[in-house]
Amino acid sequence: MKVTTQKLLNDCYGEYALAAINVFTMEQVLGVFEAADKAASPVIIQTTPVARDYAGPHMIISMIDAAAAIFPKVVYALHLDHGNEPHIHAALESGKYSSVMIDASHEPYDANVERTANVVENAHALGVPVEAELGVLSGIEDDMEVEDSLAKYTRPEEVLDFVNKTKCDSLAIAVGTSHGAYKFSGDQGIRFDILEKIQILLPGFPLVLHGGSAVNPGEIQRINNYGGELKTGSRGVSDGEIKKAIRLGVCKVNIATDLRVLWSGVHREFFHRNPSVFDPILPGKTYKNELVEMVMGKFELLGSTGKA
Ligand code: G3H
Ligand code: 13P
Ligand code: NA
Ligand code: ZN
């Protein structure tokens, strides 16, 4: 059952968080729905502009509709992640999205406010809530790459003004996470000092953590064991950091990299062990099954198991 994103976010504030999972392929769509069904967990399915453009928006949205029909008990919202105006416009026109994100955080403050407020006005006219972003994450998300030196933490002194001026419904914040497989090295980690200040200024307001993948070192090792060349020695977001962030108002945790890393590891291992196989079905099933386990683990961590 598709529900409004805002209801999901309001229900969990301070207690648990929604996994907001980026999907690109049929195995990912099916696996996320199967996991949500088994765990009786609400979930946010999200598509970036790149996911929509991969085979066209009709394909990815139809796959999501099909999975929702196969698993009718699953409580989910469909969200446009990292939207720009053309994709937001198309998403709103389609009538399929429960919420959209406008990502104008790389703009100067006033331009971010203006673009966000404009999107909010259009989306609210159709009853669709909007996630906005203040602060810039580094790393790679689809076709966007932001160098570490250009990343900026959210400035707590701006959050109240931003939310009041834009009327956005949830806020993505930059508190040290980044997109991709290399988030923290050394003693880096989530800047809870910044997150605490934001929560004090926006009590009860749903915050969104981008760059929420754990980047399991075992999975990086599996990829490298079977011919990959991923960098080792950095880490993703720890379970303890996720739990603490939830208590500080993070209601939505975005996860994309962990599904990609798993895809790469499963397929590399599969074809290494089965060098004469050239069939997509067998590794596809293995990937979907491992993805179900991994996503069920995310629901446990975020505390959303049984909350559907
Ligand atoms: O209808 C929605 C939109 O068009 C959002 O973007 O500011 O370009 O209109 P816009
Ligand atoms: P990860 O790269 O940590 O999976 O973050 C995904 C994300 O923020 C999608 O918007
Ligand atoms: Na951004
Ligand atoms: Zn993101």
**Ligand 1 pocket mutation, candidates 80, 84, 87, 89, criterion most atoms within 8 A of CB:** 89
Give the bridge partners for 22, in sequence order: 46
Contact criterion met (CB below 8 Å) for 222 and 172? no
pLDDT tens, position by position, 259-289: 999 999 999 999 999 999 999 999 999 999 9
Distance CA 160, CA 180 (A): 29
By CB atoms closer than 10 A (0-12, 13-18, 19+), residue 273 is: exposed
Residue 81 Cα to ligand 2 middle (Å): 10
Distance CA 136, CA 146 (A): 8
pLDDT of residue 150: 66
Nearest atom of ligand 1 to the alpha carbon of 115: 7
Q: Does ligand 1 lie within 6 Å of residue 88's CB atom?
A: yes
State mean pLDDT over 142-155: 78
pTM score of the predicted model:
0.94
Q: Does ligand 1 lie within 6 Å of residue 85's CB atom?
A: yes
Q: Taking each helix axis as running N to C, give the angle between helix 85-94 and helix 109-125, from 0 to 180 degrees, rounded to the nearest 10.
A: 10
Provide the CA 170 distance to its chain's centre, in angstroms: 14
Distance CA 289, CA 283 (A): 10
pLDDT tens, position by position, 70-104: 999 999 999 999 999 999 999 999 999 999 999 99
- Around ion ligand 3, residues with a beta carbon closer than 5 Å are 103, 105, 133
Q: Shortest CA distance to 304 belongs to which of 79, 8, 65, 34?
A: 8
Q: Shortest CA distance to 259 belongs to which of 20, 49, 17, 5?
A: 20
pLDDT tens, position by position, 158-178: 999 999 999 999 999 999 999
Contact criterion met (CB below 8 Å) for 85 and 78? no
Give the residue carrying structure tokens 């407020």.
117
Strands (E) located in the chain: 18-22, 43-47, 76-83, 99-102, 130-134, 139-141, 144-146, 170-173, 207-209, 250-255
Q: Phi and psi of 79, rounded to 5°?
A: -125, 140
Give the residue carrying structure tokens 């997509």.
280
Active site residue 148: no
244 has a pLDDT exceeding 70:
yes
pLDDT of residue 198: 98
pLDDT of residue 149: 67
ipTM value for the complex: 0.80
Half-sphere exposure of 238 (CA within 13 A, CB side): 11
